[in-house]
Structure 1
Amino acid sequence: MQEHVPAAPSPAASAAPAPPLTWLESVGSTQDDLLARLDREGHRHGAAVATADQTAGRGRHTRVWSTPPGTALALSVHLRPEPAGVPLAPVHLSWLSLVAAATIAERLGTRGVAAHVKWPNDVLAPDGRKLCGVLGSVSRAADGKGPGVVVGMGVNLDHRGAAPVPTATDLAEWADAGQVPEPRVLAEELRDAVVASVDRFAAAVAGEAEPVDGDHPAVAPVLRRLSTVGREIRAELPGGDTLEGTAVGLGRGGTLLVRPLAGSRETLPAEISAGDVVHLRGDVLRGR
């Protein structure tokens, strides 16, 4: 495994510059590599590992996936913000993956892609195909400052017209001409933007002892990019159960609130904390 550590990037819009991003020519999993580095080097907020050749990336439900070298960016970032020197309360950590996904969608928008977020962790193209997956895992430090989250992101760049599955797409298909960046450039851009967004979120919930829900101003940027709320959805839940209904909002900690279909014996919204969600009847941005 060859490693290249570029010079430190310019400071992000956060309390302090993020550590240098570590670029690897090839790696099994950027999340696994970053978690190992955190144990060796300290749990620094904004520490990141990226590659354009990930051979055993982590997916949800212990899935493992890989893509041909150069076709996708794999990026993992450690998020442990400390607004005013106070670590983010653990009750708010569950929001960080959604904050990261919304930030990625916003940044892809600057490159001409009307990207949006499907709860809980997919960044989609206008037609609902997947551009990027986001997956968070808790990091537990031994320094007594509390846990953080390592957020892994896999951004499809250019599969040369041969996406690995029909439900996937890439930036080359949607971005304005010349707006598909070099993987290292995009890695730095997304890392800095995600760290800045998380810092703003952490500052906005500082002092909140209880989990916040979708009505809190701190999560307004998430709601702006989230296309699931207001849609008819089908949720495949852990354990094999399925729920169909209308997504009506986000609950405490970023859970999805789903109103059951008309005629159901349940009248109150169900609260989903995990599951695979399918948008029914097309997609929010289709045809725009």
Structure 2
Amino acid sequence: MNKINIKLLKLLIENKGDYVSGEKISQELGVSRTTIWKHINKLRELGYQIDSLTRKGYSLIKSPQGMVAENIYLGLDTEVFGKEIRVYPSLDSTNTKAKELAADDYPTGTVIITEEQQQGKGRRGRGWYSPPGTGLWFSVLLRPDIAPNKAPFLTIISALAVSEGIKKVASSLVPVIKWPNDVLLAGKKVCGILSELNADLGMIKYAVTGIGINVNQTSFPAEIADIATSLKIEAGNEIDRTLLVQEIIVSFERYYLEMEAGHYDKLLGLWKKQLNIIGEQVIIYANEGITYEGNVLDVSSQGELIIKDKNGEINKFWAGDVSLRRKK
């Protein structure tokens, strides 16, 4: 993001409906009027409708409808997250782009957003349906100061942040977290989360948490129509994607700082309250066609599912090892 663009846009927003003179902008930003004109044109290229009148200055008429980094940034009240925001018209995968930025030493809290994902990834290599301009497809680059065995908490806190963000923009909705990394509405999937690590023994170099949310879709391909939904379908109205991502980023940072402070029990407790699986009879589909049946007793301190089978044997399962379906 360009710092002059941000400062200029902030000034125009603060004076929306009025004209701000080139002289005032020049004084406030400490740049020449020629520089101001260049950045006004850059904002116009991003989709901002800005009027200009001789001897009156500039006036912001309308902001763009799509995802724009400057718009998102100006609505954030965060310490770390969202200080770097990259928005792309199309990407293969936001997680892949986040890893590239990690190699270039981008900081914790860098947010990568795309209007369309060509090869969105879900857990265990599954694809993620990511049509253009309707959903929220983004990743957050993290450099957490936690032990690698606490890495499951990255998915835990991101699910909490998504749930909280949904409730902020659509108060009538009741999100439920499906262990380990989905968010549901009315029993259907509205969000998937994928966290990936680059770690050495005893240290996480960086992590990437990818979040895909069905926001304003009104229909889905036949193969997922029975299991997928969107915020618009459930709320009955269009959802502001910019506001949604802002709310999620703010919540994500708060939970992230709690995690780094070691408040794991608190975070686990909040997560468990929203899980839809504790006390249920389930079938666990593990690797190589092995299945387990039993009752979900609890979730461990590491986020593992604790299952008691019909013989009384207790087993623990984590997301990377199993797929889960409710027993019919």
TM-score tier after normalising by the smaller chain length: 0.7 to 0.9
Deviation at 1:161, TM superposition (A): 3.2
Provide TM-score, normalisation by structure 2: 0.70
Aligned partners of 1:191, 1:18: CA distance in 2, in Å? 7
Aligned pair in 2 of structure 1 residues 186, 138: CA closer, same or farther (>3 Å)? same
Aligned partner of 2:297 in structure 1 is 248
- Pairwise mapping of residues 227-246 of structure 1 onto structure 2 (< 5 A)? 227-246=276-295
Q: Report % sequence identity.
A: 23
Amino acid at match of 2:98: L
In structure 2, the CA distance between the partners of 1:9 and 1:44, relative to structure 1 (3 Å rule), is: farther
Structure 2 gap segments, 5+ residues each = 1-45, 47-66
What letter matches 1:251 in structure 2?
Answer: S
Q: Is the aligned partner of 1:71 residue 2:110?
A: no
Please say if 1:23 is aligned against 2:87.
yes
Aligned residue in 2 for 1:194? 252
Q: Could you tell me whether the CA contact under 8 Å between 1:237 and 1:276 is conserved in 2?
A: yes
Structure 1, unaligned runs of 5 or more: 82-86, 206-211, 282-288
Structure 1 counterpart of 2:315: 270
> What's the counterpart of residue 220 of structure 1?
269
Q: Residues 237, 94 of structure 1: CA spacing in aligned structure 2 closer, same or farther, 3 A cutoff?
A: same
For the 8 Å contact 1:6–1:20, the answer to whether it is kept is no
CA distance, structure 2, for counterparts of residue 194 and residue 146 of structure 1: 19
Distance in structure 2 (CA, Å) of the matches to 1:49 and 1:157 = 17
Root-mean-square deviation (CA), in Å? 2.6
1:48-197 equivalent positions in 2, closer than 5 A: 48-81=111-144, 87-110=145-168, 111=170, 112-126=172-186, 128-140=187-199, 146-162=204-220, 165=224, 166-175=226-235, 177=237, 180-182=239-241, 184-197=242-255
In 2, the alpha carbon distance for the partners of 1:12 and 1:235 equals 41
**Aligned-residue offset at 1:9:** 4.5
Higher RCO structure, 1 or 2 (CA under 8 Å, sep 6+): 1
Secondary structure of 2:208's aligned partner: strand
C-alpha spacing 1:66/1:26, structure 2 compared with 1 (3 Å): same
- Mapped partners of 1:275, 1:221: distance in 2: 23
Change (3 A) 1:173 1:57: same
Q: Distance in 2 between matches of 1:125 and 1:53?
A: 23
1:136 and 1:219 map into 2 onto residues whose CA distance is 17
**TM-score between the two structures when normalised by the length of structure 1:** 0.79
Within-5 A mapping of 1:28-39: 28-39=92-103
Compared CA separation, residues 145 and 119, structure 1 to 2 (3 A): closer
C-alpha spacing 1:123/1:153, structure 2 compared with 1 (3 Å): same
